[in-house]
Structures are given as C-alpha cells and as structure tokens.
Structure 1
Amino acid sequence: MCSAGPTSASADLDLALSLADAADAVTLPRFRAVDLRVERKPDRTPVTDADTACEDRLRALLAEHRPDDAILGEERGGELGAGRVWVIDPIDGTKNFSRGVPVWATLIALVSDGRPVAGVVSAPALQRRWWAAAGRGAHTSDPARGLAAAPVQVSGVGALEDAYASTTDLDYWRGIERQDQWLALTRACWESRAFGDFWHHCLVAEGLIDVAVEPAAYTWDLAAAQILVEEAGGRLTDLTGAARPDGGDSLTTNGHLHDAALALVRR
C-alpha cells in the first residue's frame, strides 16, 4: 500500500524492519552459496550477486510503499539531498560475506533533511538485529539469549584508559598516512581490536565496547549506525566533530569519551 502524505515515525520504522526481513530473504540463501558470483568494482572492493539483488529488492519495495521518497544505495547510487532519503547498504561487510565469514549486515536508514531518523542493522548469519528511531530508543534482538526486542544502552566508561576501542583495518590508516593517530588512541585506551564495519558501531550501542573509529566510510555505512548509537545514548560524528553520516569518516563513542578520543584522531 503506497503512502499518501506524511508518515509517522512508527510507520517508517515498521517499514524499515519489514525491508530488513526482505533483505534477509535475499542475502542469507546466497551466503556460502557455491555459485556465488563475486566481481571487483572500480575501487577494487568486491560486489556479489547478493549485493545487487538485495538492493534491487529494497528499491522495488520502497517504490511501492514510499514512492515520493528518494533512495541512496551503495550499488545503484543516488544522492543525500534535502527531504526524505532512504539509505541502503545491501551488504556491509561484503569481503566477509564473499569469504564465508558471518559478520555482515544489511543497513537501512531513513534520513530526513540530512539527519538519520530511523535505522535498522540486520545481520542474519549472526542471528542478530539492531534498530532505532528518533525519540524511541535503540533495541536489539538476540534469539540465542531469548531476546526479541531488548533496549540497548552505551557503556558508562568515563576514561580512555579504561576504554575498549575498535577500528576496521590498520591499512586504511596507513593509506591516508594517519596511522600515528590510531596508534595514539590505542596507547591511550585499555584495549583495542578491529571488529570493523557495522559490528563495532553496534557493540558501542550495546555498551560492549566504548570507541569505534572509521578513517574512511560512506553515508550508507554510517546512517543507520548514527541513529542507533545516538538513541542508545552515544555519539557518532565525523573526524571533525560534526554529527553527520556523510562526512567520509566517523568516530563512534559512548559519549563520555568522545571529546578525548576526537582530540587524538581529529582531521
């Protein structure tokens, strides 16, 4: 049923969750499929037949249910302009997906005038999902723990020396000749890992780690993560400190540590 006029935040979140169901139905059967097709894009990142099929399915559903909204997707393009824009990453973690590693997810966000207002992160191979909407809190499902819709909240860690930090890949930092900044942050923190991609943002939202830094990221990587982390009580900014998903990089924290971490990795 197509929308006619303004929609409620609840209806938008419900649609985002149903889109995640549709995405899972496309991606999960192709995970570890023996006939999975993997190609390399001009930027040398991989793309699979599941990436394109998933985005095409979500675009078709949005055309049916939100025909007046714009769409920005990793595989088919678009722009983050004014008004309502659905932002899609059909498979975040395509390298993991193509190698059979279960840490990958579909990211779906609704951005209104540049601000994410609803978002879903669906990781079916992990049997996990996270979602949030402005003013409605952040939640997760975790069937292994018997959780269908549990609220999540960032940690209360207040000092970098007690913090658990994550990034994606040290080579990203080397590539932009800023590895010393990441190393400075790791020296200031208690422990560091490279959980990467969607997962470390979700871990910050759940309070399991405290800081996540992306030296290079796109809008479709960050829009769903931003609303999730903010509704869980944390912060996501670019590395200048601006709270936006399209700044090209990101710092995600529990909020308490944001200024101290930003001082070490600011561009």
Structure 2
Amino acid sequence: MSGLTTIAVRAARSAGDFLLRTGERLHELRVEQKGPNDFVSDADREAERRIVEIIHRSYPDHAILGEEGGAQGDSTARWIIDPLDGTTNYLHAFPWFAVSIALEIQGRLEVGVIYDPTRNELFVAERGQGARLDDRRLRVSQHGKLAGAMIGTGFPFKSVDHLDAYTETFKAVSREGCAVRRAGSAALDLAYVAAGRFDGFWELGLEKWDIAAGVLLIQEAGGAVTDIRGGDRFMATGNVVGGNLRVHQALLDTIKSHLGDDLRA
C-alpha cells in the first residue's frame, strides 16, 4: 500500500469511527437543509474536518474538493471527499452510509477508499494495483445479462428535472427481469459493484465526491464505468453507468433510448 493510500485509509477510518460514536447521540446533532431532500449535519462537517486535517498533516500542499468545504487549494494533486455519503440514512439510524475519499493527480484517479463503519468494511483501490476489500482481492461479478441480475440505483432527488427521464429508465431496466435496489448511498453501491455484490449500477445527477472513489474501485476490479452515452464524461455530468462488462453494456443499451435530449447531449 502506497503512502498516499495509507493516508486515505487512516482518514477514512478516523471519520468513520467518529460517525459511529456520534451516531449514538443523533438527537443532539444540528441539522440544516442545503436544498430539496439535501441535508447536512454537524457530523458531516466534523468528519470532513478530520479527513482534511489528516491529509494536510502529510500533504499540506494538496488541494481538496469536499462536499461540505468545497474547493480548497490549487495543486495537480486533489483529494475528492464525501465525509458522509448517505446523510439522510445516517440521521435516521439506517445503517447504509459510508466515507468516500479519492485522490486525483493531474486529472486521473489514483486512489479510492470507501469505508463502511457500520460493517467495518474497507474498500481500497490503487491505479494499476487492483481493488481490495480488507485483505481480499475484488473482482466484479460474472453475471452475463440483465435477467436475474442485481442492480443498484438511486433516485435523482436533488435533480428533479431528471425525474421523468429516470423513471422511464427505471421502468425499462425493471422489465428486463432484474432485481433493482435503492438504498441511499451511491458510494457504497459502487463499492458493491466492485465486490460483485451488485452486477451493475446507474444513477443520474451525482456529484464528483459521490462517485470518484467508487469509479476507481470498479475499474480496478475489472469492470466498466461510463456516462449514460457510453463516454468518459461521468465525472462532469454525474450521470453514471457501471458494472461488469456485459451488464454495463446491457444497461447502456436498455436505458439510452429512454433519455431526453438534454441527457443524451
């Protein structure tokens, strides 16, 4: 494990352990609404502060892009941080949330870490070194078609303009005979694709911090991630399709005819 990855793991565990402790007194948290169905709590902010502190202790010149703190610094090395992916779940004591940390160097993802503190599962990817869950090497599933597949997704609750298009894609995928699951943390959904627990995933309107670490995990586990046109603009658009190679292509083929012109463009 490289020094950069070691720092990412240390930061993720620190934030995750803090979230678990704080989760025992949720009634004391101050919660604010950032937008429709979009909440932030003191726990999100403090978890991000701890992550940034650990990173800057070793790499003070590195830039930060955090969900809560926004963009900080100017460097070719940038950490992309979601300190609590699944805030609404967390605030309701629903145990499906994670810490997501990625490192991008000169625009290319190099490290991805997703930590599920509830299950004490640590997903780690390094470019060219594969992906691991704790000490086990990860590979995407071998399921070859949508029928019988387990597919993760998320509703575009922050981007209501996408809701009609998303609903049509949901209908189309569901008709293929697969099981579709929506639990509320895109980071964990992507990690589960890398681990072969989900065969595929799609969602519209995500942010960079939601997907950066999970994208690298899937790629290093032998899978594919694209935007909904099959291109590489997923970090810019937030419209993501991922999975093992065959399910990824089947998802693309199924959903693309149900998208509006604004999403195809």
Question: TM-score, structure 2 length as denominator?
Answer: 0.87
1:228 is the counterpart of 2:221: no
Superposed CA deviations along residues 28-47 of structure 1, whole A, max 9, x for unmatched, are 11114131222111454111
CA gap 1:118/1:45 in 2 versus in 1, 3 angstroms: same
Q: How far apart, CA to CA, are the structure 2 residues paired with 1:70 and 1:174?
A: 31
Change (3 A) 1:173 1:165: farther
After superposition, the CA RMSD in angstroms is 2.2
Confirm or deny that 1:93 pairs with 2:82: no
Residues 81, 234 of structure 1: alpha-carbon distance in 2 compared, 3 angstrom cutoff: farther
Match of 2:14 among 22, 25, 36: 22
Q: Is the 8 A contact 1:165 1:186 kept in 2?
A: no
- 1:127 pairs, out of 120, 128, 133, with 120
What is the deviation of 1:228?
A: 0.7
- Find the residue that maps to 2:246 and give its secondary structure: coil
Question: Residues 60 and 115 of structure 1: is their aligned pair in 2 closer, same or farther, counting only changes over 3 Å?
Answer: same
Q: Which range moved further: 206-215 or 158-167?
A: 158-167
* Structure 1 segments of 4+ aligned residues over 6 angstroms from their partners: 79-82
Name the stretch that deviates more: 64-73 or 240-249: 240-249
SS of the aligned residue for 2:40 comes to strand
Q: C-alpha distance in 1, partners of 2:236/2:11?
A: 22
1:120-174, Cα deviation, whole Å (9 max, x unpaired): 1011122222111111111113xxxxxxx11111011112223221212376787
Secondary structure of the residue aligned to 1:216 is coil
> Could you tell me how far apart the structure 2 residues matched to 1:252 and 1:104 are?
20
2:183 is matched with which residue?
A: 195
Within 5 A, what are the aligned runs for 1:66-77? 66-77=59-70
Alignment partner, residue 147 of structure 2: 161
Contact 2:62 2:74 in 1 (8 A): no
Q: Which one of the candidate residues 239, 246, 249 is aligned to 2:236?
A: 246
Aligned residue for 2:147, secondary structure, equals helix
One-letter code aligned to 1:100: A
Which of 145, 162, 173 in structure 2 is aligned with 1:185?
173
* Cα 1:213–1:86 shift into 2, 3 Å: same
% identity of equivalent residues:
32
Alpha carbons of 1:124 and 1:101: their partners in 2 closer, same or farther (altered >3 Å)?
same
Going from structure 1 to structure 2, the CA distance change for 1:61 and 1:239 (only over 3 Å counts) comes to: same
Checking the alignment, whether the CA contact within 8 Å between 2:36 and 2:158 is kept in structure 1 is no
> Which one-letter code corresponds to 1:245 in the other structure?
M
Q: Which runs of 5+ in 2 are unaligned?
A: 257-263
**Distance in 1 separating the partners of 2:36 and 2:160:** 17
Output the CA distance in 2 between the equivalents of 1:68 and 1:96. Answer: 34
Instruction: Report the Cα distance in structure 1 between the residues aligned to 2:156 and 2:212, rounded to whole angstroms.
Output: 23
| Deviation at residue 81 of structure 1 after TM alignment | 7.8
Partner of residue 64 from structure 1, selected from 57, 63, 75:
57
Bigger CA drift: 75-84 or 59-68?
75-84
1: CA distance between counterparts of 2:73 and 2:196? 30
- Corresponding residue to 2:44 among 47, 51, 76: 51
Distance 1:125 1:183, change over 3 A: same
Aligned pair in 2 of structure 1 residues 98, 16: CA closer, same or farther (>3 Å)? same
TM-score, with length taken from structure 1: 0.87
Q: Which amino acid is 1:209 matched to? A: F
Distance 1:186 1:44, change over 3 A: closer
Q: How many residues align?
A: 252
